[in-house]
Amino acid sequence: MHWEEFSKVMVPKIEQTLADELANSSFVPQLRDAMTYAVMAGGKRLRPMLTLAVLTTYQLPTNHFLKAASALELIHTYSLIHDDLPAMDDDDLRRGKPTTHRAFGEDMAILAGDALQPLAFEWLTNGNLAISSEQKVQLVTALAKAAGASGMVAGQVLDIAGMHREGVTLNETQTIHYHKTGAIIAYALQAGAIIANATQAVQNSLYDFGMAYGLAFQIKDDLDDYNAGKIEPQGYPTILGVATTKEMLQKQIDIAKESLNTFNKLTQLDIQLLASFLDYFKDITE
């Protein structure tokens, strides 16, 4: 199966899981509305799809793990809500709609983000999640590391610091994106391996795939922005030029392929589905 076909099956299920869980919650209505507004604002749902793709590779029933996989969208959405705030990126629109703080007020947006983060961990420890307590602890620990001061939040701090000065280097930009984008995408793949009760070596190979994929994802995003006339001072095309940026993208794709081959050697599993996610970059690398 190709990732595009996979997404046509899985994205509606992820959307339904998110919508149902939030609708059936007993949260304060105003808070629930803000949370739902932000979570259901659209998006590729890439992160839960990657977790479910690993489970499919292991031939595990994805329907049993939709809530655990969808927990990643809660973390991702919380980060977007806070990114958009006046104290951060100060954005009025996201995906063509008013940002959460514009629609619900800055106070409620902050609280919605605050509520989504622990809710993600609650979903990972749900009693209906058919994995061992040890595996749940592994999931929570890995997500806390990926989303917190060692991962995504660190990337945001470095990003903010870079916004206030000129001459941000390539190494600094990569460090920002490894933390801000790569860490959560890498966790998405690692989470699938944890649920499948894979060895640490297998987890590492998928984590490495995710880090390379995450950086490639950010590079493509920068190229798309540049081609659309949105010139970012910290963007890879601005720092390197378009040709060198494309070479850098290809390097990350090669690293991702090598990590998948390692995964294949360790498990003897079919990597066709996971490898097809790299076709997302075809229009640029061809």
Q: Over the stretch 193-243, which tens digit does the pLDDT of each residue have?
A: 999 999 999 999 999 999 999 999 999 999 999 998 988 777 899 899 999
Q: Over the stretch 84-142, which tens digit does the pLDDT of each residue have?
A: 999 999 999 999 999 999 999 999 999 999 999 999 999 999 868 889 999 999 999 99
Per-residue model confidence (pLDDT) at position 11: 98
Give the model's confidence band at 283: pLDDT under 50 very low, under 70 low, under 90 confident, else very high: confident
Which range has the worst mean pLDDT, 21-35, 50-64, 155-169, 214-228? 155-169
Distances (CA, A) of 270 to 38, 76, 87: 36, 29, 46
248 has pLDDT over 80: yes
Q: Give the integer Cα–Cα distance in Å for 282 and 219.
A: 13
Instruction: Based on the fold, state whether residues 113 and 20 are members of the same structural domain.
Output: yes
This prediction has a pTM of: 0.96
Distances (CA, A) of 91 to 35, 86, 102, 211, 233: 18, 7, 9, 27, 17
Q: What's the mean pLDDT in 280-284?
A: 88
Per-residue model confidence (pLDDT) at position 65: 96
Per-residue model confidence (pLDDT) at position 231: 80
Q: What's the mean pLDDT in 255-284?
A: 96
169 has pLDDT over 90: no
Per-residue model confidence (pLDDT) at position 285: 65
Q: Which of 130, 164, 182 is the last residue of a domain?
A: 130
Instruction: Based on the fold, state whether residues 114 and 170 are members of the same structural domain.
Output: no
73 has pLDDT over 80: yes
Instruction: Based on the fold, state whether residues 18 and 123 are members of the same structural domain.
Output: yes
Instruction: Based on the fold, state whether residues 145 and 275 are members of the same structural domain.
Output: yes
Instruction: Based on the fold, state whether residues 117 and 60 are members of the same structural domain.
Output: yes
Per-residue model confidence (pLDDT) at position 197: 97
Q: Which of 130, 161, 180 is the last residue of a domain?
A: 130
Q: What's the mean pLDDT in 35-46?
A: 96
Closest CA to 120 of 63, 39, 177: 39
Instruction: Based on the fold, state whether residues 279 and 147 are members of the same structural domain.
Output: yes
Q: What's the mean pLDDT in 279-283?
A: 91
Considering its fold, how many domains does the chain have in total? 2
Task: Evaluate whether 220 touches 278 at the Cβ level (below 8 Å).
Answer: no
Dihedral pair phi/psi, residue 29, rounded to 5°: -50, -45
Instruction: Based on the fold, state whether residues 171 and 261 are members of the same structural domain.
Output: yes
Quote the mean pLDDT of the chain: 94
Q: Give the integer Cα–Cα distance in Å for 145 and 163.
A: 24
Per-residue model confidence (pLDDT) at position 22: 97
Q: Which of 98, 130, 162 is the last residue of a domain?
A: 130
Per-residue model confidence (pLDDT) at position 84: 96
Instruction: Based on the fold, state whether residues 119 and 209 are members of the same structural domain.
Output: no
Per-residue model confidence (pLDDT) at position 164: 60
Residue 122: which CATH number?
1.10.600.10
**HSE on the CB side for 223, CA within 13 Å?**
21
Q: pLDDT > 90: what percent of the chain? A: 87
Instruction: Based on the fold, state whether residues 282 and 204 are members of the same structural domain.
Output: yes
Instruction: Based on the fold, state whether residues 144 and 270 are members of the same structural domain.
Output: yes
Domain that holds residue 99: 1-130
